[in-house]
Amino acid sequence: MHIAIVEDDEKYIAQILAFLERFSKESKNTISTEVYHNGAEFIGNYKPIYDAIFLDVEMPVMNGIKTAEAIREMDKAVIIMFITNLAQYAVKGFEVEAIDYVLKPIEYPSFTIKMNKILRELRIKSYASLLINTSDGETLRLPLQQITYIEVIGHYLHYHTIDAIYKERSDRTMKLLTKELAENGFSRCNNAYLVNLFYVDRLDKEFCFVNGEKLAISRTKRKQFIEDSKKYMEGRFFS
């Protein structure tokens, strides 16, 4: 788990780091951390690589609410946990989809409850997005519900989404992706295409129409793809 701490008080930084180390040992979850001392510094260097962010509400330069709003413009999936002196400040967290808040002074038992909440959310989110490194040097988190299909061309994977195509040179193979995303409603119609069955408009023995695009169904993949499509339409794909 990769966690960012955005906090201007060294005392609380040290405490959160100590609590995370203790929680890591007790829960047997590997946790890596990065520390930032204000929101502007964090946003200026932001990449969507974090699983969760502990974000202080009251900070100089750029407060936690403004920082969270800027984060959400770049990353819809990351978990935000506010740190605050007053619970009333955390009400604004609903506007930026924060999962919860840690109330100062921080006590380890309540901190553990918050961390377990983060873990539960991560287990859900782990099936809901892919982290990719594009050929342009960007690191992006792609929500699975936005991917219409994934195409392999040479050594590159092309992620077709509802509004863009992202290209990645990756060690991932289509075989691995197929196994990874099988429970999320993805199935291969041929060796080159892994299709999000949600976007299949119609299909026949030779072609499937995915969000308006016509993709060939290979003879070797036809039986399994049609079977997967039928299961998905009947709501049995995730059982």
CATH number for the region 2-125 comes to: 3.40.50.2300
Query: Worst-scoring range by mean pLDDT, 84-88, 105-109, 166-170?
Result: 84-88
Q: What is the pLDDT of residues 53-64, one digit of tens each?
A: 999 999 988 999
Return residue ranges of the chain for CATH 2.40.50.1020. Answer: 129-233
pLDDT at site 239: 36
Q: May I ask the CATH class of domain 129-233?
A: mainly beta
Return residue ranges of the chain for CATH 3.40.50.2300. Answer: 2-125
Q: To the nearest whole number, what is the mean pLDDT of the chain?
A: 89
91 pLDDT tier (thresholds 50, 70, 90): low
Residues of the chain above pLDDT 90, percent: 61
Average pLDDT over residues 124-131: 72
pLDDT of residue 139 exceeding 90: no
Q: Is the pTM of this model over 0.75?
A: no
The three-state (H, E, C) secondary structure of the chain, written as one string: CEEEEECCCHHHHHHHHHHHHHHHHHHCCCCEEEEECCHHHHHHCCCCCCCEEEEECCCCCCCHHHHHHHHHHHCCCCEEEEEECCHHHHHHHHHHCCCEEEECCCCHHHHHHHHHHHHHHHHHHCCCEEEEECCCCCEEEEEHHHEEEEEEECCEEEEEECCCEEEEECCCCHHHHHHHHHHHCEEEEECCEEEEHHHEEEECCCEEEECCEEEECCHHHHHHHHHHHHHHHCCCCCC
pLDDT at site 127: 56
